[in-house]
Chains A and B, each alone.
Chain A
């Protein structure tokens, strides 16, 4: 994640930063009552976090200097009365605390107000852009998770070998590349065409808008998706690879593998049947964290590829500042992570009964 959305976490802490963790309080999975209590605790924590996010989203964007009414009306002749009317319409003529209570009250009912600039309800705007973002980052997520797990497994199994060194080296290198830069490079080479490489892919957008439907349309969108997805996968798979690799290496030290080998099971079988499943657990945690960030999208990659998703919406909203839209987006971004983390917390004890023992 070059855009630091998950930042340094993966490399520093292969188990993922998620509070997925059983910090010693989790129950035995089979103990239903304890599990329910544990789950309720986690849910309550999530609710508190969500509320904290709600509060932050309100105040964070209020400190951005700028009067949205003026920005919107910039360059047109408007009277002070009209400005006042607009402020009234937006509800920013009231005292801050009143705005805040109103905001919280409405937000709890799922109403984030209307965008200043686009006039539509914020929820609707986000809902409309969500599929584009989910399609892009979701596809990338599936791909880099699979590639990461697969290469991580191979790397760990032959750790220290040429393949391992190549794999980790390459993934770390790609991880260090700024995603927007890689995107630009890919556009220059594979969309514009460079040297003998013809421009194979579109230079941006999500579809050519030629009115095609059904399969033709799906293929059209897929064609537009190739470069952004490749960008995201390239910079993203290192995390999964490294976590998978290190947890598998951990597992391989385990006595039970020796036992399994001693039973005469073949190497690949030992790996697939015994080592990998156990090693997957930390990876799954990481994947959940990443899944949470799927919603936050990739502001940079979306911008570079003119992708009509949430990232672009956020960036546009920031310059106004379109307060309701910013609040809504921030809330959705953070809520995605919180929900996924909570989900990971809830599932983890089921996956791994040893948790919390």
Chain B
């Protein structure tokens, strides 16, 4: 799928026009974004994902206004431990007597942050390695791709668990553990795309005009792999959110921070997995966010590569 032209790469600037090349490039980019959006709009699932994401991000951003940081406080917990849903607590209370609804909203902040940062780290590593491996051929590429392949066969979760248990329990540990174990897929995809881009004649011309390695990689290759990276990022976020929940559930998360996975772990610690209001909402929240990112990612992908035929 990676060899098909992406909409943003079709016509390299080669005409002599009265406009400056920079303005031209900007125009072209704006057009392609507009075209991208027009096509994205036709994907109903993608729109649904986007809308639900917007909702979650909004909730996370507004959480300080909606519920306030005190919702995390155990000493100011308003209810008794493990109260069933009812009047004051629409989703009941957790093992400290805090309101589950508030925690759920507050937990979105942590889960989304981890998802975004871990995915950013993973994709950044992947893109860097992918582009350089595609650009510099020879022994560098061979070695780096061997390493990538080798990382690819590592049992990701096992590696992440090992890493998380080595480092102290904090949000950064989780981000790092996810980031450094999930980049190889991106690296492979980006490398393939880089190879495809670099085989085009205009790169040849850029080289002939004296474009250095950095110039080619940042000015020509990077913009062309960006759409792919974007799609990949959304997909990685989806799995990062899940992995965060998994690590937290295994007790490898930071116990003093509220996250959805952490709430599930709390429920298990408290021996309260039979209390549906403690277990069901965080699980659904995790699934919804992961699903939304996946849907967005697939929609982006199918815009870039219509042959995938993602249902609309």
Q: Using CB atoms and an 8 Å cutoff, list the residues of chain A in contact with chain B.
A: 2-9, 11-15, 17, 19, 48-49, 52-53, 56, 60-61, 63-65, 156, 159-160, 164-165, 168-169, 172-173, 175-178, 180-182, 184-185, 187-188, 192, 245-246, 249-250, 253, 292-293, 296, 299-300, 303, 314-315, 318, 326, 329-330, 333-334, 337-338, 341
Looking at A61, A184, A300, A333, the one whose CB has the most chain B CB atoms below 10 A away is A184
Given A159-B309, A330-B158, verify A9-B286 contact (CB < 8 Å).
Answer: no
Contact of A8 among B166, B182, B311 (CB under 8 A): B182
Whole-angstrom distance between the Cβ of A21 and the nearest chain B Cβ:
10
Please determine whether A4 and B246 come into contact, CB atoms closer than 8 angstroms.
yes
Please determine whether A49 and B309 come into contact, CB atoms closer than 8 angstroms.
no
Contact of A164 among B184, B239, B290, B311 (CB under 8 A): B311
- A169 vs B298: C-alpha distance in the bound complex, in angstroms? 12
- A106 vs B95: C-alpha distance in the bound complex, in angstroms? 49
Please determine whether A8 and B308 come into contact, CB atoms closer than 8 angstroms.
no
- A111 vs B250: C-alpha distance in the bound complex, in angstroms? 30
Chain B residue nearest to A318 (CB atoms) is B165
Looking at A2, A8, A61, A187, the one whose CB has the most chain B CB atoms below 10 A away is A8
Q: Is B47 an interface residue (CB 8 A)?
A: no
Chain B residue nearest to A177 (CB atoms) is B287
Please determine whether A181 and B231 come into contact, CB atoms closer than 8 angstroms.
no
Q: Is B139 an interface residue (CB 8 A)?
A: no
Please determine whether A178 and B287 come into contact, CB atoms closer than 8 angstroms.
yes
Chain B binding site: helix, strand, loop or mixed by DSSP? helix
Chain B residue nearest to A192 (CB atoms) is B274
Please determine whether A184 and B246 come into contact, CB atoms closer than 8 angstroms.
no
- A275 vs B31: C-alpha distance in the bound complex, in angstroms? 38
Q: Using CB atoms and an 8 Å cutoff, list the residues of chain B in contact with chain A.
A: 1, 45, 146, 149-150, 152-162, 165-166, 178, 181-182, 184-185, 188-189, 231-232, 235-236, 238-239, 242-243, 245-246, 249-250, 261, 264, 268, 273-274, 276, 279-280, 282-283, 286-288, 290-291, 294-295, 297-298, 301, 307-312
Chain B residue nearest to A3 (CB atoms) is B157
Contact of A181 among B161, B162, B286, B288 (CB under 8 A): B286
Whole-angstrom distance between the Cβ of B245 and the nearest chain A Cβ:
5
Whole-angstrom distance between the Cβ of B196 and the nearest chain A Cβ:
13
Contacts of A178 in B (CB 8 A): 242, 245-246, 249, 261, 264, 283, 286-287
Contact of B238 among A8, A314, A337 (CB under 8 A): A8
- A48 vs B149: C-alpha distance in the bound complex, in angstroms? 11
Whole-angstrom distance between the Cβ of B285 and the nearest chain A Cβ:
10
* 6 A-B pairs closest in CB distance: A176-B290, A176-B291, A181-B283, A249-B309, A337-B153, A296-B155
Please determine whether B166 and A63 come into contact, CB atoms closer than 8 angstroms.
yes
Chain A residue nearest to B147 (CB atoms) is A52
Please determine whether A299 and B158 come into contact, CB atoms closer than 8 angstroms.
yes
- A250 vs B302: C-alpha distance in the bound complex, in angstroms? 13
Please determine whether A17 and B166 come into contact, CB atoms closer than 8 angstroms.
no
Extra A-B contacts (8), CB below 8 Å, given A12-B231, A13-B188, A292-B153: A3-B246, A60-B159, A181-B286, A184-B268, A246-B308, A246-B309, A318-B162, A337-B153
- A14 vs B4: C-alpha distance in the bound complex, in angstroms? 14
Please determine whether A181 and B279 come into contact, CB atoms closer than 8 angstroms.
yes
Please determine whether A165 and B158 come into contact, CB atoms closer than 8 angstroms.
no
- A38 vs B95: C-alpha distance in the bound complex, in angstroms? 60
Please determine whether B308 and A249 come into contact, CB atoms closer than 8 angstroms.
yes
- A192 vs B276: C-alpha distance in the bound complex, in angstroms? 12
Whole-angstrom distance between the Cβ of A77 and the nearest chain B Cβ:
28
Please determine whether A7 and B294 come into contact, CB atoms closer than 8 angstroms.
no
- A168 vs B189: C-alpha distance in the bound complex, in angstroms? 23
Please determine whether B185 and A180 come into contact, CB atoms closer than 8 angstroms.
no
Whole-angstrom distance between the Cβ of B212 and the nearest chain A Cβ:
27
Please determine whether A173 and B297 come into contact, CB atoms closer than 8 angstroms.
no
Contact of B291 among A7, A173, A330 (CB under 8 A): A173
Whole-angstrom distance between the Cβ of A283 and the nearest chain B Cβ:
15
Contact of A176 among B189, B282, B287, B312 (CB under 8 A): B287
Please determine whether A300 and B307 come into contact, CB atoms closer than 8 angstroms.
no
Given A7-B156, A17-B188, verify A12-B232 contact (CB < 8 Å).
Answer: yes
- A19 vs B146: C-alpha distance in the bound complex, in angstroms? 10
Please determine whether A160 and B156 come into contact, CB atoms closer than 8 angstroms.
no
Chain B residue nearest to A2 (CB atoms) is B242
- A303 vs B246: C-alpha distance in the bound complex, in angstroms? 12
Whole-angstrom distance between the Cβ of A52 and the nearest chain B Cβ:
5
Please determine whether B273 and A184 come into contact, CB atoms closer than 8 angstroms.
yes
Please determine whether A4 and B185 come into contact, CB atoms closer than 8 angstroms.
no
Contact of A300 among B246, B274, B276, B295 (CB under 8 A): B246
Please determine whether B274 and A188 come into contact, CB atoms closer than 8 angstroms.
yes
Whole-angstrom distance between the Cβ of A134 and the nearest chain B Cβ:
15
Chain B residue nearest to A62 (CB atoms) is B166
Please determine whether A4 and B149 come into contact, CB atoms closer than 8 angstroms.
no
Please determine whether A176 and B311 come into contact, CB atoms closer than 8 angstroms.
no
Contacts of A48 in B (CB 8 A): 146
Please determine whether B150 and A176 come into contact, CB atoms closer than 8 angstroms.
no
- A260 vs B155: C-alpha distance in the bound complex, in angstroms? 43
- A7 vs B307: C-alpha distance in the bound complex, in angstroms? 23
Please determine whether A17 and B279 come into contact, CB atoms closer than 8 angstroms.
no
Please determine whether B185 and A12 come into contact, CB atoms closer than 8 angstroms.
yes
Contact of A180 among B239, B246, B291 (CB under 8 A): B246
Contacts of B264 in A (CB 8 A): 178, 180-181, 184
Please determine whether B158 and A296 come into contact, CB atoms closer than 8 angstroms.
yes
Chain B residue nearest to A179 (CB atoms) is B246
- A249 vs B235: C-alpha distance in the bound complex, in angstroms? 22
Contacts of A188 in B (CB 8 A): 273-274, 276, 279
Whole-angstrom distance between the Cβ of B146 and the nearest chain A Cβ:
8
Contact of A4 among B160, B297, B308 (CB under 8 A): B160
